[in-house]
Structure 1
Amino acid sequence: MPPPAAASRSGAGAGEPLAEEAESPAMRRLRRLSLHLLQPSDQAETSLALAACAGRSRRVEGGADVAAALAAYLRGRHRAAQLRLFDFFRSRPDLQTPVELTTAAHRELCFRQLRALVRDAGVRPLTLMASDPAEYFAVMEAAGGADISLGVKLGVQYSLWGGSIINLGTKKHRDKYFDGIDNLDYPGCFAMTELHHGSNVQALQTTATFDPVTDEFIINTPNDGAIKWWIGNAAVHGKFATVFARLILPLQGKGGEPADMGIHAFIVPIRDLETHAVLPGIEINDCGHKIGLNGVDNGALRFRSVRIPRDNLLNRFGDVSRDGKYTSSLPTINKRFAATLGELVGGRVGIAYSSVGVLKVAVTIAVRYALLRQQFGPPKQPEISVLDYQSHQHKLMPMLASSYAFHFATVQLVDKYSEMKKTNDEDLIADVHILSSGLKAYVTSYTAKSISICREACGGHGYAAVNRFGALRNDHDIFQTFEGDNTVLLQQVAGDLLKQYQEKFKGGTLSVTWNYLRDSMGTYLSQPNPVTARWEGEDHLRDPNFQLDAFRYRTSRLLHSVAARLQKHSKTLGGFGAWNRCLNHLLTLAESHIESVILAKFIESVRSCPDEKTREVLKLVCDLYALDRIWKDIGTYRNVDYVAPNKAKAIHKLTDYLSYQVRLVAQELVDAFDLPDLIIRAPIGMQSEAYAQYTQYVGF
């Protein structure tokens, strides 16, 4: 006996069980399963022409054209460079990373991959970073697609070691080191983090004491807590390190005491260029096998009175003369420190951008498998795709929408960074610093959680190493920690928002990213309109103005309330105590603001799309992203009566419906990421013959 049909809209609501007496447990189970298959029927038809549910593929009519048009819109001007790298790795099976590999073998392979990229494929990453940062990040993303360890090792060599020379040094340093770094003759490290200090860079303990007699700096590790730790490239391959240390000038302080001039960067050779032997006074130990990224050789460095020439000080923001006098264009230690760290923002930009690439791979594998996998179905009828279940759509479709939202946001971040490097505009520098902090923290945290959800969505087959989720999760996990711990970075965003908030009431000028606060703070802090709080029509809920206003209203309320709380608590707890008391509130504020920035860019990207059909698909995806986020935080909106109960219910129902609609174009949306099989690699994530490739892999 088939499960009872759902009532029509004239009677019980869709998805609500008909009242039946004496229903057996088996019948009740069948009825509940059947409800998974029911799709909302009370929604108005959208302008997007989506195909009806039919057949196993459930593709929209002209799906290949939709995917091609989306891919064309997503591609940046540097896609050709990525395709050349994909072709290069495809032609070199010896450079492709196998599923099972020892740590030592992975490190050697990773270095061979990087060397081949530079010397065989002809890529010059440092030249790109200096001349065209957007193409550099595109190359990094492609390298990370081949192996995340390779992408990170490339970043260590060029973003960090090479970037320190370009951004913190002067012409003499670039003339001496640039070519050797670019062609990989000078593999190097970035030695900032210490055993006891990572995020608190100003508290680093390594010292660089000037010796005026020999015209040298003496690099010293004063205690075990000051050992440089987790230094990429140090354990095996590095020959140089940019070492961050406290610059000490003897007899320059009060009463003839040594003067501590704060944190500066120094070039320290750590291995002989010819023999590769570790140099005297330097101790290097291996940090060992890690959870992931074992192609990167992380090591620990201790310095015992290592002498380097005075010219090895990277002196863009501070210099020491032959007679030991210190000069700087910046008057204070804090300003010099801020300028130094500000020049290293490219690392965060690259991580945020690369994290989106990892999310795209994970979502592609999960969605393709969900379309392929058949499970259960109505009695005496074929099994259906698991992506036809509402619960599966709820897992994956908002994640797919977020992948698109993050894509546009990080592309904008790269563009802003490129413009910043060209113009050195102070407002843009500040803007990129905070925006990169927020996006890096938000995107990497989201991606880390999403990879596990994608694994679960693929059931037991998601647990097979060959299907990549374990490697993706483990290799990506550290993205939440390096280049700034995410919790610390979000505090930087919150701190800047509070600074802007104070400037607003002083009549100051707000920076570019926060300019929505200028005109709208008064509106957002007023009582919600009781009429619009009840509007629940689809046209209203899918209006970008409503969506963006809702995001910004939440941010403004959070900003206003946390400012009041900080002022209240600082009277009794002091500034630090008040900040700690309000810390969770501050982190929520930062995340809310970053979501507003992401949505604003997504809406702008939809409007800018020149092709009407592609724009309609993107509008659907953008609506799902916005309404899903509003629904996930509906308690906040309800607490201040921004959304009435009936409107909250309408948002929930529309979010479910949009998830179903996005499901109908899910294959086109993941195909539009234009990721070749070389990058996907997981047998269950292939565009065709997935099961055939899977069975062949295990030996059938």
Structure 2
Amino acid sequence: MATAASRSGRRRGGGDDEDDRTAAMRRLRVLSLHLQDPSPSSEAGLAPAACAAAGRRRATGGADAAAALAAYLRGRHRDTQARVFEFFLSRPDLQTPVEMSTAAHRELCFRQLCALVREAGVRPLSLMANDPAEYFAVMEAAGGADISLGVKLGVQYSLWGGSIINLGTKKHRDRFFDRIDNLDYPGCFAMTELHHGSNVQALQTTATFDPVTDEFIINTPNDGAIKWWIGNAALHGKFATVFARLILPLQGKGGDPADMGIHAFIVPIRDLDTNAVLPGIEINDCGHKIGLNGVDNGALRFRSVRIPRDNLLNRFGDVSRDGKYTSSLPTINKRFAATLGELVGGRVGIAYSSVGILKVSVTIAVRYALLRQQFGPPKKPEISVLDYQSHQHKLMPMLASSYAFHFATRYLVDKYSEMKKTNDEDIMADVHVLSSGLKAYITSYTAKSISVCRESCGGHGYAAVNRFGALRNDHDIFQTFEGDNTVLLQQVAGDLLKQYQEKFKGGTLSATWNYLRDSMGTYLSQPNPVTSRWEGEDHLRDPNFQLDAFRYRTSRLLHSVAARLQKHSKTLGGFGAWNRCLNHLLTLAESHIESVILAKFIEAVKRCPDEKTRELLKLVCDLYALDRIWKDIGTYRNVDYVAPNKAKAIHKLADYLSYQVRLVAQELVDAFDLPDLIIRAPIGMQSEAYAQYTQHVGF
């Protein structure tokens, strides 16, 4: 070890001083290059980025590239969305202001829905019955005008109307369909209770059949059974689909009442003419929320409320005049599964709408990052904040994810539409699990991303007019309703384990999971020591490598969690073992959903007919894939799927792709084709952003 004297002597030596100065200058030059050229290294062959003196800059192709990409993204229902946008643009009185009271927001939201149906001529329930994809497009467009409106529309048509279509029979559709469609019968979906939300089978509200009067008696047996958070209940709902335990007196063993499990019942809650709350029903307002205050959530208590026997939604189970129960399904569990299986449309809509909210947030953040200039090389103009590598790392993978989610949810909607047309049981099971996973994964990602977008816009992101606060608060509940995300991911994991067992029993795998046929054997073998070291760009950008990496991870997680569950179940039992492995199971579910998302993105890239648009999408897809692999690089390193040099190459290439996507970021957000009515944030407008922003506060 060198002594203090020897170190001092070296510092006094001219050669050593020169070496120190040279090293310091080299570090300064590297820092300067970082500010001018955010690419990972000069070895990538990139020229330094020009300063964004004019704020935004377009890559070659510019508006034409954005238009071509928008045409590919648009889908067959974009014209329907455009009509919704144009309607609200023509009606300033229906546009939601930045600040308003809860009462005013609720009144406006109901007027918006009435106008959309009665003036613009949109018939959401007919669309949902005949063309679900167009219905979801309308829901997304309405949510763009006001997320509260999109949710209120979903309560009226996906939930209240959907329960009539999916759980009722012809007599219910004949009586209710048209009046729900034209908003004569606004209604609620009364499933959640104070003590039970996700565990629907444990709901406590009862519906006891009275054979003397041929009626059901709806009761709230205790405070824990009060229906809670029921949309449309506080003000506007006239009916409610109430989920309750069907009780048949004297039908059980020894003459005790028989509990036939959870069924759905139509319960009038307000007078159609006077809007007065009906006898036996107590309604209270759930009050001001952290978001979605245009939706009137209420709590319902029932005190011996009598309804006709025909108000039982009897598709999966019926009660005759003499009190006999009949069903085509043999067990309570099968009836319950069939009932919930028919209600996945709401979950599909939430996933689809969440992507729309992510697009709005990313568009605002990217446009502002292109506009805002800060610092720069000495004696040169300031540069766009999106030219900083750190900013690219925040926003470019998020932009890539928006595209990935777009194609994944389009696929989900198509599968849902196919399910409704064919009633195929395999497709139904597929849609149930896929909608659970995509809803959970996308809404969680969007919730986190909105906060990142707000932070990336600095102080101006904190202004209410720039929308991040409202977007974050209104979207936050998407992680909870239509199924808590943690519970939904467990459903995905449970289905994967079921498929895993079927595989080793010689069974077949359903469509979404069929990739596991090939990769199930792979996790038992060691990774190829040659391919684990390949680090060339062509290899890393090969969709086969990317998809194999995602699927390999899922397969290993599936195999390892199955082994852990088997081990722990011997001492802890089934429930205890599941709980011991819960974090492992959630990681498995997320990994599988990411595999599905990437697969659908890759398919969309291959389908694109225009070569230049396809190349642009390929760039975005590669960034999505490699960013996700890098974020979980520890998993791949732990099993030697990726050698150290390959891990470094993945990181380096992900940086480079972030820079490349930054160069076309404006085209990518413009291709979302979101009108100013939907963006609204002054800092997110395509032109004169600062002028609109300053005008907002009176300049």
Same fold (TM over 0.5): yes
Q: 1:595 to 1:395 in 2, by over 3 A?
A: same
Q: 1:27 to 1:216 in 2, by over 3 A?
A: farther
Q: 1:9 to 1:450 in 2, by over 3 A?
A: farther
Q: Which runs of 4 or more aligned residues in structure 1 lie more than 4 Å from their structure 2 counterparts after TM superposition?
A: 5-11, 13-17, 20-33, 40-56
Q: 1:428 to 1:27 in 2, by over 3 A?
A: same
Q: What is the aligned-residue identity percentage?
A: 91
Q: 1:42 to 1:185 in 2, by over 3 A?
A: closer
Gaps of 5+ in 2: none
Number of residue pairs matched? 692
Cα deviation for residue 35 of structure 1 reads 4.6
Q: 1:10 to 1:203 in 2, by over 3 A?
A: farther
Cα deviation for residue 34 of structure 1 reads 2.4
Alignment match, 2:49: 51
Native 8 Å contact 2:490 2:586 kept in 1: yes
Deviations 1:563-620 (A, max 9, x none): 0000000000000000000000000000000000000000000010000000000000
Relative to structure 2, which stretch is displaced further, 26-35 or 170-179?
Answer: 26-35
Cα deviation for residue 16 of structure 1 reads 20
TM-score (norm 2): 0.95
Aligned mates of 2:463, 2:537 — CA distance in 1? 42
Native 8 Å contact 1:607 1:615 kept in 2: yes
Cα deviation for residue 24 of structure 1 reads 13
Q: 1:64 to 1:10 in 2, by over 3 A?
A: farther
Supply the RMSD in Å over aligned alpha carbons.
4.2
Aligned mates of 2:8, 2:629 — CA distance in 1? 30
Aligned residue for 2:477, secondary structure, equals helix
Q: 1:43 to 1:239 in 2, by over 3 A?
A: same
Q: 1:97 to 1:24 in 2, by over 3 A?
A: farther
Cα deviation for residue 27 of structure 1 reads 9.0
Native 8 Å contact 2:55 2:370 kept in 1: no
1:216-231 pair list within 5 angstroms: 216-231=215-230
Relative to structure 2, which stretch is displaced further, 59-68 or 144-153?
Answer: 59-68
Deviations 1:131-182 (A, max 9, x none): 0000000000000000000000000000000000000000000000001100
Q: 1:225 to 1:585 in 2, by over 3 A?
A: same
Deviations 1:249-305 (A, max 9, x none): 000000000000000000000000000000000000000000000000000000000
Aligned mates of 1:652, 1:6 — CA distance in 2? 40
Cα deviation for residue 50 of structure 1 reads 13
Native 8 Å contact 2:55 2:372 kept in 1: no
Q: 1:521 to 1:39 in 2, by over 3 A?
A: farther
Q: 1:699 to 1:40 in 2, by over 3 A?
A: closer
Cα deviation for residue 39 of structure 1 reads 3.5
Q: 1:10 to 1:667 in 2, by over 3 A?
A: farther
Aligned mates of 2:219, 2:8 — CA distance in 1? 81
Native 8 Å contact 1:51 1:59 kept in 2: no
Deviations 1:450-509 (A, max 9, x none): 000000000000000000000000000000000000000000000000000000011101
Native 8 Å contact 1:8 1:14 kept in 2: no
Aligned residue for 2:229, secondary structure, equals strand
Cα deviation for residue 49 of structure 1 reads 13
Native 8 Å contact 2:38 2:387 kept in 1: no
Native 8 Å contact 1:525 1:553 kept in 2: no
Q: 1:634 to 1:437 in 2, by over 3 A?
A: same
Alignment match, 2:446: 447
Cα deviation for residue 524 of structure 1 reads 3.6
Cα deviation for residue 61 of structure 1 reads 1.6
Q: 1:25 to 1:224 in 2, by over 3 A?
A: farther
Native 8 Å contact 2:523 2:559 kept in 1: no
1:577-588 pair list within 5 angstroms: 577-588=576-587
Q: 1:540 to 1:39 in 2, by over 3 A?
A: farther
Native 8 Å contact 2:39 2:46 kept in 1: no
Is 1:22 aligned to 2:20, yes or no?
Answer: yes
Aligned residue for 1:21, secondary structure, equals helix
Q: 1:10 to 1:656 in 2, by over 3 A?
A: farther
Deviations 1:32-56 (A, max 9, x none): 7525325477889999999977985
Native 8 Å contact 2:55 2:384 kept in 1: no
Alignment match, 1:605: 604
Native 8 Å contact 2:606 2:614 kept in 1: yes
Aligned mates of 1:509, 1:10 — CA distance in 2? 75
Native 8 Å contact 1:9 1:42 kept in 2: no
Alignment match, 1:368: 367
Relative to structure 2, which stretch is displaced further, 20-29 or 679-688?
Answer: 20-29
Cα deviation for residue 518 of structure 1 reads 1.2
Aligned mates of 2:59, 2:14 — CA distance in 1? 24
Q: 1:617 to 1:44 in 2, by over 3 A?
A: farther
Q: 1:41 to 1:343 in 2, by over 3 A?
A: closer
Deviations 1:499-529 (A, max 9, x none): 0000001110100000001122112431100
Native 8 Å contact 2:363 2:684 kept in 1: yes
Q: 1:23 to 1:278 in 2, by over 3 A?
A: farther
Q: 1:197 to 1:48 in 2, by over 3 A?
A: farther
Q: 1:21 to 1:188 in 2, by over 3 A?
A: farther
Q: 1:574 to 1:479 in 2, by over 3 A?
A: same
Native 8 Å contact 1:107 1:297 kept in 2: yes
Cα deviation for residue 23 of structure 1 reads 7.1
Q: 1:507 to 1:613 in 2, by over 3 A?
A: same
Aligned mates of 1:451, 1:14 — CA distance in 2? 55
Native 8 Å contact 1:15 1:35 kept in 2: no
Q: 1:509 to 1:44 in 2, by over 3 A?
A: farther
Aligned mates of 2:516, 2:440 — CA distance in 1? 22
Aligned mates of 1:115, 1:618 — CA distance in 2? 39
Native 8 Å contact 1:206 1:221 kept in 2: yes
Q: 1:10 to 1:688 in 2, by over 3 A?
A: farther
Native 8 Å contact 2:38 2:388 kept in 1: no
Relative to structure 2, which stretch is displaced further, 31-40 or 549-558?
Answer: 31-40
Aligned mates of 1:79, 1:15 — CA distance in 2? 70
Deviations 1:628-666 (A, max 9, x none): 000000000000000000000000000000000000000
Aligned mates of 1:50, 1:515 — CA distance in 2? 45
Aligned mates of 1:81, 1:55 — CA distance in 2? 34
Aligned residue for 1:37, secondary structure, equals helix
TM-score (norm 1): 0.95
Aligned residue for 1:26, secondary structure, equals helix
Native 8 Å contact 2:36 2:49 kept in 1: no
Q: 1:174 to 1:382 in 2, by over 3 A?
A: same
Native 8 Å contact 1:6 1:16 kept in 2: no
1:478-489 pair list within 5 angstroms: 478-489=477-488
Native 8 Å contact 1:50 1:60 kept in 2: no
